[in-house]
Structure 1
Amino acid sequence: MRKRSAPASPWFAFVLLLLGTAGCAALWIMLATATGRQSSWMAVVAALDAALLLRMARVPAGAARALWGVLAAAVTILLANWFIAAAHLGKMFGLLPWASALKLGAGHAWTLSRLANDPVEIAWLGAGLVIAAVASR
């Protein structure tokens, strides 16, 4: 008979998910700035990463874990799009991406992201959220 391991601390799961989200967003931002493309397919990678981290943290299966997976993927998508827009804008003004991100307003970031993401990119972002829900449950 297989013995089930006890769930880890909720704080451990939260910190692990936070670090994974930041790392995946950083990778996405570097890829997008290196290629000059949005690389929205990384939303699927972010979704799978969130699902894997939630399972590694032994978060109990169910709707709550699926919600945490979708939330982590959505935060990764938002962070990546914000910093990609900031990196491109900051490049024109001679600012580092994180300096530009602090000066970028929400309305301006939203406009730049809408202009940069065509329907195919939006489909990748949506697919990432759906995959996060399914893979995390």
Structure 2
Amino acid sequence: MSTQGIAHSRWFGAALALVGSGGVAAAWVAVSMVTASQCGWMAVVAALDAAFLLRLARAPRGLARMAIGVGATILAVALAQWGIVSAHLSGMLGLGFADTMGKLGPSLAWTLTTLANSPADWAWIGAGLVVAAFASR
């Protein structure tokens, strides 16, 4: 594979993993709303999804692929937590889900996320980052 092909697949892998983060975050929000819990275990699903998408895109092995996998997992966690908070607030505020996501500030989102997640949820999120590092390398 030429140098240009390697760079292309790295960028394609990164783009695919980042788009996948949005998809797995949406699934996480849906599962969270159905089960009425934070579902921290979905961080491991997000990590495995990112690793799978990077391998599917044939991103070259190494530190860059691992960093992209961990970054995609962090993005999925952040989007999911933002979405879960927005979903809970949207009914109380009388706004739609998308409107609430746009109006929600980072300080309130962080405060409500820290209050809602149990120590087990935080452990699952940490485990998801570790899984992302190992599965994406």
Give yes or no for TM over 0.5.
yes
Query: Hey, what's the Cα distance between the residues in 2 that align with 1:15 and 1:136?
Result: 15
Show structure 1 runs of 5+ residues with no match.
1-5
Show structure 2 runs of 5+ residues with no match.
none
TM-score (normalised: structure 1)? 0.91
- The residue identity in structure 2 corresponding to 1:90 is S
Aligned to 1:122, the other structure's residue is in SS state helix
Would the aligned equivalents of 2:50 and 2:73 in 1 still touch at CA under 8 Å? yes
Establish whether residue 111 from structure 1 lines up as the match of residue 111 from structure 2.
yes
- The residue identity in structure 2 corresponding to 1:126 is G
4+ residue runs over 6 A deviation? none
Q: From the superposition, tell whether residues 126 and 77 of structure 1 become closer, same or farther in structure 2 (CA, over 3 Å).
A: same
Query: Hey, what's the Cα distance between the residues in 1 that align with 2:48 and 2:65?
Result: 13
Would the aligned equivalents of 1:28 and 1:80 in 2 still touch at CA under 8 Å? yes
CA deviation after TM superposition for structure 1 residue 12, in Å: 2.2
CA deviation after TM superposition for structure 1 residue 7, in Å: 4.1
TM-score (normalised: structure 2)? 0.91
Task: Compare the two structures and name the one with the higher helix fraction.
Answer: 2
Question: What residue number does 2:136 align with?
Answer: 136
CA deviation after TM superposition for structure 1 residue 13, in Å: 1.9
CA deviation after TM superposition for structure 1 residue 18, in Å: 2.1
Would the aligned equivalents of 2:83 and 2:101 in 1 still touch at CA under 8 Å? yes
Question: What residue number does 2:53 align with?
Answer: 53
Query: Hey, what's the Cα distance between the residues in 2 that align with 1:34 and 1:98?
Result: 18
Over aligned residues, Cα RMSD in angstroms?
1.5
Would the aligned equivalents of 1:8 and 1:58 in 2 still touch at CA under 8 Å? no
Percent identity reads 52
Query: Hey, what's the Cα distance between the residues in 2 that align with 1:26 and 1:130?
Result: 22
Question: What residue number does 2:25 align with?
Answer: 25
